[in-house]
Amino acid sequence: MKIQKSFFIALIIGFLNINSVFAVTLPAPLDSSFVIKEIKEHTMTANDLVGMQIMVNGTSTAIWNGTSADGDGNSWNLSYTGSDTMGGFWKFTNSGFGIINTVKLDAFGADSVFDNIPEPELTDKSERGAFVYVNGPDAVDIIFDGLVRLETAADPEGDIYRWITFDFTDIGGLSEDESFQFIADTDKVSPIPLPPAAILFLSGIVGLIGLKRRKV
């Protein structure tokens, strides 16, 4: 009975602070953007993107570890050559996955964003961005998605995004043993810290789990 009562109290606390609890992960209700605290750095290397997620055809995923990312037992691979992400080349290779229609990169996993406007600087401290350049199959669609804005701005400026998708559908997909290279400018960001109310709520849930285990 004590466990049920504690759980009920935790749920009430969470409900009263639900906007704070989910502020980090949910899009803003008015502009459908993701919110960050600030741009920390606009000159980045591949090592700064540790944690970036790569998704192939929406089903195969891997995490960039600073030197490479391999999906489904090396059926595809992402590598990097260069100094910073404004000038170096990413290389994606289909090593035996079958037909690949989409390759999607999620920079938020590395507390980063993609900056795609050459000039002028729009989002504060982002400096000028760069158009994504692709060297490989023709007619590749490049899709930016997940607008990002500063917490101090009412609306996103439109130059920084969470996701890039390379879509090969119109050319019949990226076949086995095919590869493509690309340049994509990235900026390091500071996420909005988890508010105390969210920490309290999560701590309560963890405590309840511990109590239940001890009861058993």
**pLDDT tens-digit series, residues 54-97:** 999 999 999 999 999 999 999 999 999 998 888 899 999 999 99
Quote the pTM value: 0.76
Specify if 9 maps to a domain. no
Mean pLDDT value of segment 140-155: 94
Q: Is residue 12 part of a domain?
A: no
The answer to whether residue 56 is domain-embedded is yes
Q: Tell me what the mean pLDDT of segment 8-29 comes to.
A: 34
> Given this model, what pLDDT does residue 194 score?
61
Q: Which long-range contacts (C-beta less than 8 Å, at least 24 apart) are formed by 79-88?
A: 80/46, 82/46, 83/45, 84/43, 84/44, 84/45, 85/44, 85/45, 85/46, 85/49, 85/183, 85/184, 85/185, 85/186, 86/43, 86/130, 86/183, 86/185, 87/183, 88/46, 88/183
State the pLDDT at residue 122.
92
Asked whether residue 62 is assigned to any structural domain, the reply reads: yes
In a domain? residue 164: yes
pLDDT band at 197 (very low <50, low <70, confident <90, very high): very low
Q: Flag whether 7 is in a domain.
A: no
pLDDT > 70 fraction of the chain, expressed in percent and rounded: 75
Q: Which domain holds residue 41?
A: 28-193
Dump pLDDT digits (tens) for 103-133: 999 999 999 999 998 888 899 999 988 888 8
Task: Between 40 and 120, name the one with better pLDDT.
Answer: 40
What domain count does the chain have? 1
| 163 lies in some domain | yes
Domain assignment present for residue 10? The answer is no
